[in-house]
Amino acid sequence: MFLLLAQVLFVATPFTPENSFTSGVEGPATDKAGNIYAVSYQKTDTIGKFTPDGKGEVWLTMPEGSLGNGIRFTPEGRMFVADYKGHNILEIDPATRKVSVFAKVPTPYQPNDIELGPDGTLWASDPDWKGGGGQVWRIDKDAKVSKVATLDSTSNGVATSPDGKYLYVNETGSRKVWRYLIGKDKGLSGKTLLIAFPDFGMDGMKADVKGNLYITRHGKGTVAIVSPRGKLIREVDVLGKLPTNITFGGPDGKTCYVTEVEHGRLVSFRAEFAGR
């Protein structure tokens, strides 16, 4: 039984049909019931919803002037979406599907990936794709927005450690993952290089309960699993060269869902540990 279980870990399978998403597919997140949400389902300006057995629907069409990217749910069920076109963090009521602006992000670029820390703080990456720079914003529970980091390369994926002590930010251009210490005032300090990859890019990332990072390797077609000490543990083939984002779900929190552009779909694989 143990050997059989070990064999099916880290083996990706398609979760949705090919070309069910446009090239803008991003932002997977799961709600309390185990449903999976991702943007650009069938059309670019949508959010798709999928049951745990893979049945999908266009759940929401975004308001005019808005396009979704990262999605996060709070433990209470509140839903936040990075609106990279409107430069907002949106809140969507899952019951009524009403969309409101939770916070305005004062950037000429975009809120891209978002992370929800254990204390309810939101963190948003803000890449400058043309200029090659980037920054990170903190959005407090009262919707106050603060710029907390400026990077030399395109900031993309963001993730917090299980204990909420560290924020991880990756740079697509430099292929580096940075670790910041989160202070009592929620400021960032102690910027430290966790790992640098020699090739290909990166996009979204999430942590498991052990603090390992699951990083999508855009262009390589894998999810890299990296320990809190910066050691590459393994890479998981996700059946397409262009993975964008990743989330955890399933009844035990150990199913990873990955958005993938080359085939326009979600894929899934089982992990050893549950997501943070």
Q: What is the mean pLDDT of each run of 10 residues along the chain (276 residues)?
A: 58 98 97 97 98 96 97 96 98 98 96 97 97 96 98 96 98 97 97 98 97 98 98 98 98 97 98 96
Q: Cβ neighbours of residue 104 under 8 Å, at least 6 residues apart? A: 87, 88, 145
pLDDT of residue 1: 37
pLDDT of residue 71: 98
The rounded distance, in Å, linking the Cα atoms of 206 and 159 is: 5
Q: What is the dihedral of CA 47, 131, 246, 120, to 10 degrees?
A: -80
Q: What is the CATH number of the domain that holds 67?
A: 2.120.10.30
Range of the domain at 106: 15-270
The rounded distance, in Å, linking the Cα atoms of 194 and 101 is: 34
pLDDT of residue 6: 44
Would you say 182 and 148 are in contact if contact means Cβ atoms under 8 Å apart? no
Sign (positive/negative) of CA torsion 8, 9, 10, 15? positive
Which value, in Å, is the radius of gyration of the alpha carbons in the chain? 17
pLDDT of residue 2: 37
CB neighbours (10 Å) of residue 135?
18
In a domain, 97, yes or no: yes
pLDDT of residue 7: 53
Name the amino acid, one letter, at 220: K
Query: How many separate domains does the chain show?
Result: 1
In a domain, 109, yes or no: yes
In a domain, 3, yes or no: no
